[in-house]
Amino acid sequence: MKVKTMATSGIIAALYVAVTFLIAPFGFTNIQFRLSEMFNHLVVFNKKYMIGVVLGVFVSNLLFSELGPIDLVFGVGQSVIALSITILSAKFIQGLYKRMVFNTLVFTFTMFLIALELNIALGFPFWITWGFVAVGEFAVMAVGIPIMKALNDRLRLDKLI
């Protein structure tokens, strides 16, 4: 791995953790409004960003989650699955905006894994919990689309790493 890729991944992970820390009470349990999830859109610009995003999810869950190891498995696993689906779909979906919308829908749908985790760990009702976490994820990812588009216009995210 190139030094530039490693450094960029570390910066993304650190930003993910910092943003998660700012709103930590709202980023965990059945009400999930984790603003750092908008960084998931980075893989639309370049698949190499997946490393930094996944590392950021891992460290955030390790430091801030009260659920312990189960959150490392389910939270990181959900991110890896959703990011991988988005990366694999890039050949079939043309245009950044369409890929970010698709990414938003993938992350929203795969929140069933987080609902399952909360059901197993805390006994929360699965369907209601999936609804809550999916709505929070959709909101953050949807708000993230214009933000990431603006960042790309300024920073050229596809060429940065």
Q: Which residue in 121, 112, 111, 88 sits closest to 34, CA to CA?
A: 111
Helix 112-122 to helix 69-89 angle (10° resolution) is 170
Q: Quote the pTM value.
A: 0.93
User: pLDDT grade, residue 68 (50/70/90)?
Assistant: confident
pLDDT at residue 59 in the model: 97
pLDDT at residue 34 in the model: 85
Q: Which residue in 146, 149, 12 sits closest to 79, CA to CA?
A: 12
- pLDDT (tens digit per residue) in 77-96: 999 999 999 999 999 999 99
Q: Quick one: DSSP state of residue 37?
A: G
- pLDDT (tens digit per residue) in 103-133: 999 999 999 999 999 999 999 999 999 999 9
pLDDT at residue 30 in the model: 64
User: pLDDT grade, residue 66 (50/70/90)?
Assistant: confident
Residue indicated by tokens 């190139």: 2
Residue indicated by tokens 């059945």: 30
pLDDT at residue 26 in the model: 61
The Cα 112–Cα 123 span in angstroms is 14
Domains of the chain are 3-160 (1.10.1760)
What region does 93 belong to: left with phi over 0, alpha with psi -120 to 50, or beta? beta
pLDDT at residue 25 in the model: 66
pLDDT at residue 1 in the model: 72
